[in-house]
Amino acid sequence: MAVTAIDGTSATSTIEIREAGSTWTTLPAMISGWGYWVYNAPNQNNGFAFPLSFRLTSVNGEVVTIDSAFSSFTGVEQTVDSATQYAANSAPVAATDAPVVAPIAPTDAPVAATDAHVAATDAPVAVATAVPVTPSTCSSKAKIMVPLYVYPGAAWDAVAAGASSVGTVAIINPNSGPASSPDSSYVSYMQKLSDAGVEMVGYVYTGWGTRAMSAVKADIDTYATQYPHLKGIFLDEGAATADMVPYYQTLHDYILSMPGWTHNIVNPGVAPDSGYLAASTQIVSYENYGTSLASADIPSYATCSNKEQFVAIVHTVNAGSSMDVIIDAVLNKDYFGYIYVTDGLGGCCTYNTLTTYYASMVAYIASKQ
């Protein structure tokens, strides 16, 4: 069982559990400081001794007790609302949307927790909490950068349709890089995306700077000679450390030497050393679960003036209010110039399909600008 506390007025420091008439047991934090706790029933063969009760203590020493929270489990995910928040004598802070609970892999860091609502499950869970959006002080509008790692067809049609509402860059990936030459579907659909105003870039992996420069350049050359309408390259598995800046600077210069190419996008997935600002046109400085977004670092070198150089790709986000909350949170950080949110699950195949709510995502981003 994993336990997460969500949506309130104060951070939770400890959670205790009591099975049936036993004594209180403190749950160990899976990752200290992240508000995420794990509990294993003492008798793994027989499971829990119901009822289960919880006691939560805030960082300020306030305590909320939820007696007999569960008399049984009826599904994969169970949720209980204590109906009581910390600092009960003061007005609670209103959230802008309903809390969302979504499953994640146990090795991923969940978002910090902040109240006496408890979710108990037989698989780890984390939450995305609503973040109110303040008016942006940046004049540039956010655009979409979509990993279009699917064969041309309906998904490409959806991307083309959305480009009239929100500026779009699409990353094409025929074969974990380029195929030797595009087939007729790629030729016709690349023309369709180009006509719709979508800027396309080709996927090339770099092995975090360990892949041979000659192999990377060979992929770049194939895209340049065989794939019309491209505007640059997306360098995946990007390094983030200062010592690898020369490697990516060399590729940056090589990519932008191609006629008509204007994009050299590096994807470390985190905020890298500031030297990458000169070694790329865009940096994917966040690629992670929606549940980890609240803790994402904003590098000191990221400002309104260079907003268009930063990309947030957020996965494992449910449709509806969860998608809205995540988009609001990204826009509220006010330094991401590009965004993509998907219900694709984190793992090997996150981008093998287009997010099921692509049109809704486009409409929501457009409505916020």
Residue 182 sits in the same domain as residue 274: yes
Average pLDDT over every residue of 217-244: 97
Write out the residue range of the structural domain in which residue 147 sits: 143-367
Residue 169 sits in the same domain as residue 276: yes
329's enclosing H/E stretch is: helix 321-333
For residue 133, what is the DSSP state?
P
The answer on pLDDT for 90 being more than 50 is no
**Which pLDDT belongs to residue 193?**
98
The answer on pLDDT for 198 being more than 90 is yes
Average pLDDT over every residue of 150-166: 98
The answer on pLDDT for 32 being more than 90 is no
Is residue 159 packed enough to be buried (19+ CB in 10 Å), middle (13-18) or exposed (0-12)? buried
Q: Tell me: the pLDDT tens digits for 119-153? A: 443 333 333 333 333 334 566 789 999 999 999 99
| Position with higher pLDDT, 210 vs 102 | 210
Residue 113 sits in the same domain as residue 185: no
Is residue 275 situated within a structural domain? yes
Look-up: residue for tokens 């995910």?
77
Is residue 121 situated within a structural domain? yes
Is residue 134 situated within a structural domain? no
pLDDT bracket for residue 52 (50, 70, 90): confident
**Which pLDDT belongs to residue 303?**
84
Average pLDDT over every residue of 186-190: 98
Q: Tell me: the pLDDT tens digits for 283-304? A: 999 999 999 998 888 899 998 8
CA distance 234 to 351: 14
**Which pLDDT belongs to residue 333?**
85
Residue 241 sits in the same domain as residue 161: yes
Between the alpha carbon of residue 127 and those of residues 19, 40, 252, 318, 348, the distances in Å are 25, 21, 38, 11, 22
- Give the predicted TM-score (pTM) of the model: 0.66
Amino acid at 92: P
Residue 94 sits in the same domain as residue 212: no
| Position with higher pLDDT, 101 vs 232 | 232
The answer on pLDDT for 42 being more than 90 is no
| Position with higher pLDDT, 32 vs 73 | 73
| Position with higher pLDDT, 345 vs 90 | 345
Report the domain count for the chain. Answer: 2
Q: Which of 127, 154, 185 is the last residue of a domain?
A: 127
**Range in 24-28, 285-289, 320-324, 353-357 with the lowest mean pLDDT:** 24-28
**Which pLDDT belongs to residue 348?**
85
CA distance 148 to 146: 6
Mean pLDDT (the chain) is: 81
**Which pLDDT belongs to residue 104?**
30
Q: List CB contacts of 110: < 8 A, sequence separation 6 or more.
A: 4, 30, 31, 34, 35, 36, 104, 124, 125, 126, 127, 289, 291, 292
Q: Tell me: the pLDDT tens digits for 257-286? A: 999 999 999 999 999 999 999 999 999 999
Residue 30 sits in the same domain as residue 176: no
Count of CA atoms in the C-beta half-sphere (13 A) of 270: 9
The answer on pLDDT for 9 being more than 90 is no
The answer on pLDDT for 310 being more than 60 is yes
Is residue 166 situated within a structural domain? yes
Residue 54 sits in the same domain as residue 184: no
**Which pLDDT belongs to residue 343?**
96
The answer on pLDDT for 238 being more than 70 is yes
Query: What are the tokens at 298?
Result: 């904003």
**Which pLDDT belongs to residue 34?**
39
C-beta of residue 332 within 8 angstroms of C-beta of residue 133:
yes
CA distance 342 to 224: 29
Report percent pLDDT > 90 for the chain: 56
Query: What are the tokens at 119?
Result: 């979710």
CA distance 72 to 78: 9
Average pLDDT over every residue of 46-53: 81
Residue 23 sits in the same domain as residue 163: no
Residue 212 sits in the same domain as residue 112: no
